[in-house]
Structure 1
Amino acid sequence: MGPVNEELRPSLLDEWRERRRQRKSAPKASRRTPRKRRTWRERIDRMSLRKAFIVYILGALVMALITSFIFVFWMQESANDIYRSAQNISLEYNALYTVPHSGYELSSSDSFMLSFYGAASIAGPVILFLLWILMAYRQFYRTKLKRPFELLQKGAARIAASDLDFSFSYPAGDELGTLCQAFERMRGDLAENNRRMWRMMEERRRVNAAFAHDLRTPITVIKGYTEFLQTYWPEGKLSDEKISSTLTLLHDSTQRLEDYVASMRALQNLEELQPDPKALDGSSFSNGLESALTILAKEYDKRIEFHSSIKGELRFDGAMVLRTAENLAANALRYAQSRVLLDMNVQDGFLWLCCTDDGPGFTAEGLKMAGEPFYRAEKKPSGELSGHFGLGLNIVRTLSEKHGGNASFGNAPEGGAAVTVSFRLS
């Protein structure tokens, strides 16, 4: 090897020092946070039942093989110890002489132990395999089956007792985890159906109470005038004009009863109605609705402004939306001073109807009771109804809810009632 150039040595050393200094002063590169490794228990929880069962069985077989080998080796060594203790060993001239096997006798206890060790070498592995399989099954049951079975059993018992006010979760990724999630969804659906049925029963109770209250007036009128006729007509104290007016009032009260019965029948049919969505052209539907609203406005001698931004093909129950819009517009025209505005648009997967008028608007009590069947607001001194609602708005709310939407009632900032109705598009 040739001599080292002395002039190059300092420069190389300085360069190496400079690189080292730069490496130390340079910011350390950000390292990725190592992903947390899952534990063995977490991996088992995420396995399917079949995979987890195979893992447990394979683990049990491996442990059974290892313990069986150790056990058999132990039995053989124990038997060899007995043989060695029974041998006659003599040491002479530093030599080892062993008496042949046929030349010594075993005691009865040694013979019994040798027989025991031989039998244990055969039966022991079988017993060990069975024990390990049983332990694997027990662990598999405790890990994968016990908790979901307990949750499902308790949940089924509470559902059988009509107790749906609970929830449970089993976040495992196996088949039982999926079953528990389906069970929880079923419980939620049952609870929602119960709440819906309860609301329907409460609404039916309110309807019956309101119906009975409204029937009381015409029945009282009919009863009073009937007693009046029975008392004074036989005595000849009633003129023909008085009898005619009394019969007219009786006829009006009877007609009022018939109207109430027809309303109850309409409400019952409304509850049984189900939406039938079909593909409809938005522009054609808007034109048809505008024509119907124009005719309706002429009956009230008022003006209705209709605006629609829906275009293209939409899927909804056209008859249900049309009936809702007509009831909404008729209620607004009944109490508006001169003008009603109805806007129809599509947003967030819903068809929206927004109706405002220039009438007096809802009262505080009216906002709470809007949409209730047969509700009537208090009368003004002049006898005019001050509310905007009754059976018409109940139909609006019921139809919108059956179509997957809802109805909200309020007052516009500039005055007048404001009702917003939505229908879910298929």
Structure 2
Amino acid sequence: MKHRIALLFSFFFYCYLYGQTILVEDDFSSSSKYFDNSKLTIWGSNSSVQSAFIITQKADNNGMTFRAISLTDSALLHTNYHTDTLKSLKALTCLDWQFTPVNRKQKDTLYIEFDILWSNMTSSGESGRINMITLYRYPAGGADFNDADSLMKTHPFGRPAYHIRVRNSSTTLNKGFIGYGGGNDSLGRLYIHDEWTGKLRHWLAGAVPPSGTGTYPASLNSSDFTITTASATRWKHFTWIIEPEKQSFYHRYSSDSFAGPGALVTSINIPEHSTENPPYYHWFDTIEAFRIYFNGNPTNTYFANLKISLKTNLTNRNDLHRELEIVAYPVPATNYLNISGVKRISQLEIISTDGKVLYTRKNIQPEIPINIAWIEPGVYFLRIISGTEIKTVCWVKQ
């Protein structure tokens, strides 16, 4: 029964995701897809630009292994502003992915998925915290060298829109939160007052500077986690969904046999219109980049399998009713799959959720059931070519 429920859950999740456009997909097979902000300063004992990050194969206690990025041992000693001030990494222990701007006025939904493993858990969760931030007004090509120490540019690292903080806390408090907006003023500028030098610097970690520096507005628009999401023993898979009126955060173990976002951690409504000035503090017209910030010192965090995609909202679009004409049933199917809603099938394909074509058949009669007894249980797509039209439906094999 539990397996059936998991399959049905995956079915609805993947059917809902159908129609996505992938904006970013990074398995860290190289370092070419992101901007490495740690290279924008000279830190530690280095005499030249050096990355604070390293890509390795990382296994959890169950042997699940991903290619992941994390801080180097040397970088862990120089994170934040809390070590040697002049040679610290400041808040540059973060990576940025820039993508084609998402126009939020189209009412489309943004999906951000990734896997994380912590080196250990701590009581406060601060040393190993991870901040994820979506950014608007992001500069093409990223920031320039020494931009972190200069206020000459208005937003050299972009401005924070929606954000999540996940802490590796082993206690009942400080699990993390989800929120939106931020910065030190109504423009969302990423400023921080460096108490060691008395100099204003950019705080790249997102919407919430350290306590005592103030945020805009005074009360943060956020929702705290009430459950533990971090793990130092097993890889965790996270899904962050930003809808037109709400953003939600989900988690599960990466090794879970069923696909899908997992259990809901928390969610928060996003006001579309605001009487505050400026109105885009709540509703950000565009999303142009994604940032992950590693706090480190001394906890290391391993980040893997980033995927950012956009699901088009088909409401009021001409192809909505055509997309829903074809029906594949029963759900779930066991040995045979029936198709209705199409008179002629030029070609039929069965496709797995990772895009592999498992079966192809041409010139078939739609009233004849398709034998699927040989297919492993799971969620699949059925792509049907009828004349000049190509239509896809989602179905599940039990």
The TM-score normalised by the length of structure 2 is 0.18
Which has the higher Rg, Structure 1 or Structure 2? 1
More strand by share: 2
Q: Which has the higher helix share?
A: 1
